[in-house]
Chain A
């Protein structure tokens, strides 16, 4: 077996371990839901239920002591660590097989970006385990790895002259870390919006729709104010999630800024211009501007909180599109997928 094949094997095992972590996190989440429902049932006794806001107000906020140390949490944590380590080995072997840093094509970008997201998740979960963020990030990680192995995989190889520069490590490495952090920050923001919606009793599935009301009823069970989202009462409150998401985005934004600057310096060396509106450059620029808009919105009256969070969704969507659509379908200097 060659080193390159060994690397693939490790990435496959990482995907397997992460699938187990995903399942464990989901079980954990389900358990939290039950616990929350039980807590609610207990709380309901003395109080006449007025609506979800009452329930939210009476439910304990923050992480309850029981959230740590259960079996599912333990399994999730250890398989997450295992998967991350396996992935690290896979990445290192990939670099050995290609004789360079593993940052040259989409396959390598994906596995390295997944690794960064997992490390960010591990750091975050060490402080405060949130099953939901675990589900989202390990879910994205498994999806990304399987996609990478099945559709983005290319032979481990040296690179063309235009890529032979230490900037390959700096620029692409920073972009990968930025993507990873943005992923975890995105998950935190999703959680923030869900928690906020539950606290304020906002759900479009609550009120009848003029048309397509059948559709609404079919999804009624999935409404954020309903029992299936009771676990939300166990996660930190929206304000703390917002603060946490902002800190992650602050780091992410600085890294995106660095990606832009590093990319411009490298483009100046390799292509003879620091900025040329190459589709990839445009994509990064747009994502950067939307993240800047998010940072502004946080401090703009009427925009802080939920509406600013929507800008995060847009920005993360741009980040993903910039990596997928732009690389695969739009011709440009960055068409380095090797596919």
Chain B
């Protein structure tokens, strides 16, 4: 902020008449021409200085704020890679001409794009340039004294007057005492008494240093917030793991389905705790079938510790091994056994099927690579229906998310699963390129319907499939971010600073007592003329009432109600 650049909060047209806001005077140590927009003298240093002054001017800060808002908008209009990579891929397919260009320009990851980063980094550079000199000025102001009493009070937005029988000096000392009274342990006003000569005394007082302090705290906290968030980005890790009921999870990178980390986090630092899913409970609304409650009962064993039973719920993460563990998803993992043509067990285990809708119609793949020599590998693709119903012949669907009558509906593929091609595979999809679907003699696709406990023959003599039982699985997010406490601290500091900055009134009051010319105007009429004036930063509806209160105390009589400003009574509860 430069001095030249800042007007008091009221614009020329909006400013109380005839008053230059003394609060901005001397508010900035830099020369008045800063940021004036005139071209700089030649020379690299001069030029750099000019750029810096522009950057830290209030007008450029304003521009950058507006730019930041504008730059954030495209992120809601285009699919974003971190949130929804599939949608980005679909967009690129649908828009082959514009898509790649948008991609190159960062429109699919707006918040990590060069231009978005440039805007906020410039804004924060501007912030630093603005905050440092202001902090210095404010620190000096905190040590300074209230400005001397102005000669005339005529122009000030708040005024008051009265008379007293006491000597001017006594009146002024009393005023100073009233103003310096402590409130909540701190003096209400900082006040100085001045002897103005010729028997006239005055007191000048100022309060509300908290306002500027709050403003600085607010801006510094924003800076702290940015640093804390960036640190967190570097030190964090986050991974997702699917854990089937009755099985465990060990916190090593290989155990995660997805894992990402900040550049400064070493996966070797993962704390090797283990977590076992003992039981999973879900509740649904009986009529609408909407979910009502999910609870995972787990046993956590920290390195060198005893096993501890915990519960994880949506909205209620637990902390284990320095990481927060969230319950993000759940579903069924039918446990099946596949025997190959020779009758040997080729596969046995629980396979997570991913729920597709509110009634947990779940989709999944069972891959059976380890079959007897000479036999094709087997892939089983299809659905699990927790509560199966057949509304029309051959048409099955689920009517309830709870497993009232589970049914596996699978089609059978034989051939090469492609697991040894070296290309990482999605466990929830079957690569059908080297496989063939089993059909019956009429050429219709063979569909298997299996209930728990049942065993069915696979077509073409491939073997048998047994549906053993139906355990649940949970999808857990594990996240470690050591900066969280800092992020919260800086947010709350910003909030507190902002509140002080917006609501703590910054006021100056002056009271002058002079030997009066008026004499014997009747009983009680004093001989000392007392006048007062007040000035506030910005429009301040509480200024006049405060001046009246002070005057009333000084004079020991009801305050003369004198509304010099015509300002209205407070709104929004502000005093």
Contact A157 B568 (CB under 8 A): no
Main secondary structure of the interface of A (DSSP, over half): helix
Q: Which of A282-339 contact B (CB under 8 A)?
A: 282-283, 285-286, 289-290, 292-293, 296-305, 311, 318, 326, 330
Interface flags for B464-503 (1: CB within 8 Å of A; 0: not) read 0000000000000101000010011001101100110011
> Which of A158, A273, A274, A302 makes the CB contact (< 8 A) with B292?
A158
CB distance from B553 to the nearest CB of A (A): 27
> In the bound complex, how far is the Cα of B570 from the Cα of A128, in angstroms?
10
Q: Which of the segments B69-77, B244-252, B366-374, B425-433 contacts the partner chain?
A: B69-77
CB distance from A281 to the nearest CB of B (A): 10
> In the bound complex, how far is the Cα of B94 from the Cα of A292, in angstroms?
38
Contact B495 A261 (CB under 8 A): yes
Nearest opposing residue in chain A for B24, CB measure: A299
Inter-chain contacts of B294 with A (CB < 8 A): 161
> Which of B59, B73, B291, B484 makes the CB contact (< 8 A) with A300?
B59
Contact A240 B567 (CB under 8 A): yes
Inter-chain contacts of B98 with A (CB < 8 A): none
Contact B292 A299 (CB under 8 A): no
**Quick check: is A38 within 8 A (CB to CB) of the other chain?**
no
Inter-chain contacts of B76 with A (CB < 8 A): 279, 282-283, 326, 330
> In the bound complex, how far is the Cα of B223 from the Cα of A73, in angstroms?
50
CB distance from B323 to the nearest CB of A (A): 10
Interface residues on A, range: 35 or more
Inter-chain contacts of B541 with A (CB < 8 A): 243
Contact B572 A289 (CB under 8 A): no
Contact B65 A292 (CB under 8 A): yes
**Quick check: is A248 within 8 A (CB to CB) of the other chain?**
yes
> In the bound complex, how far is the Cα of B15 from the Cα of A318, in angstroms?
29
> In the bound complex, how far is the Cα of B285 from the Cα of A314, in angstroms?
42
Contact B290 A160 (CB under 8 A): yes
Interface flags for B1-27 (1: CB within 8 Å of A; 0: not) read 000111111111111100000000000
Inter-chain contacts of A250 with B (CB < 8 A): 502-503, 572
**Quick check: is B455 within 8 A (CB to CB) of the other chain?**
no
CB distance from A101 to the nearest CB of B (A): 15
Main secondary structure of the interface of B (DSSP, over half): mixed
Q: Which of the segments A76-84, A134-142, A264-272 contacts the partner chain?
A: A264-272
> In the bound complex, how far is the Cα of B9 from the Cα of A303, in angstroms?
10
Contact A238 B9 (CB under 8 A): no
Nearest opposing residue in chain A for B236, CB measure: A273
Inter-chain contacts of A244 with B (CB < 8 A): 568, 571
Q: Which of B552-575 contact A (CB under 8 A)?
A: 566-572, 574
Contact A277 B491 (CB under 8 A): no
Contact A247 B566 (CB under 8 A): no
CB distance from B11 to the nearest CB of A (A): 3
Inter-chain contacts of A292 with B (CB < 8 A): 65
CB distance from A301 to the nearest CB of B (A): 5
> In the bound complex, how far is the Cα of B117 from the Cα of A299, in angstroms?
26
**Quick check: is A258 within 8 A (CB to CB) of the other chain?**
yes
Interface residues in B, total, Cβ within 8 A: 71
CB distance from B437 to the nearest CB of A (A): 34
**Quick check: is A186 within 8 A (CB to CB) of the other chain?**
no
> In the bound complex, how far is the Cα of B499 from the Cα of A251, in angstroms?
9
**Quick check: is B83 within 8 A (CB to CB) of the other chain?**
yes
> In the bound complex, how far is the Cα of B498 from the Cα of A257, in angstroms?
9
> In the bound complex, how far is the Cα of B492 from the Cα of A79, in angstroms?
41
> Which of A239, A254, A290, A305 makes the CB contact (< 8 A) with B69?
A290
**Quick check: is A25 within 8 A (CB to CB) of the other chain?**
no
Contact A258 B495 (CB under 8 A): yes
Inter-chain contacts of A254 with B (CB < 8 A): 495, 498-499, 502
> In the bound complex, how far is the Cα of B32 from the Cα of A100, in angstroms?
59
**Quick check: is A123 within 8 A (CB to CB) of the other chain?**
yes
> In the bound complex, how far is the Cα of B9 from the Cα of A258, in angstroms?
24
Contact B495 A282 (CB under 8 A): no
CB distance from A201 to the nearest CB of B (A): 13
**Quick check: is B62 within 8 A (CB to CB) of the other chain?**
yes
A127-B499 contact given A270-B315, A290-B69, A300-B7, CB 8 Å threshold: no
Interface flags for B398-435 (1: CB within 8 Å of A; 0: not) read 00000000000000000000000000000000000000
Contact A246 B484 (CB under 8 A): no
**Quick check: is A278 within 8 A (CB to CB) of the other chain?**
yes
> In the bound complex, how far is the Cα of B491 from the Cα of A256, in angstroms?
13
CB distance from A241 to the nearest CB of B (A): 9
Contact B13 A257 (CB under 8 A): no
**Quick check: is B128 within 8 A (CB to CB) of the other chain?**
no
Inter-chain contacts of A44 with B (CB < 8 A): none
Interface flags for B346-360 (1: CB within 8 Å of A; 0: not) read 000000000000000
Nearest opposing residue in chain A for B80, CB measure: A277
**Quick check: is A208 within 8 A (CB to CB) of the other chain?**
no
Contact A251 B572 (CB under 8 A): yes
> In the bound complex, how far is the Cα of B13 from the Cα of A297, in angstroms?
15
**Quick check: is A253 within 8 A (CB to CB) of the other chain?**
yes
Contact A304 B10 (CB under 8 A): yes
Inter-chain contacts of A238 with B (CB < 8 A): 13-14
List, sorted by A's number, 18 A–B pairs whose CB atoms are closer than 8 Å: A127-B571, A128-B568, A164-B314, A239-B15, A239-B16, A243-B538, A246-B539, A247-B571, A250-B502, A250-B572, A274-B487, A277-B111, A283-B76, A285-B72, A299-B8, A302-B59, A304-B10, A304-B14
Q: Which 10 residue pairs of A and B lie closest in terms of their CB atoms, listed nearest first?
A: A304-B11, A243-B539, A305-B11, A161-B314, A293-B65, A239-B14, A272-B326, A250-B502, A289-B69, A279-B76
Q: A282-B72, A304-B12 are in contact. List 18 more A-B contacts (CB 8 A).
A: A123-B572, A161-B291, A162-B314, A164-B315, A242-B10, A243-B14, A243-B541, A254-B495, A261-B492, A269-B317, A270-B314, A271-B326, A293-B69, A296-B61, A300-B5, A304-B11, A304-B14, A330-B76
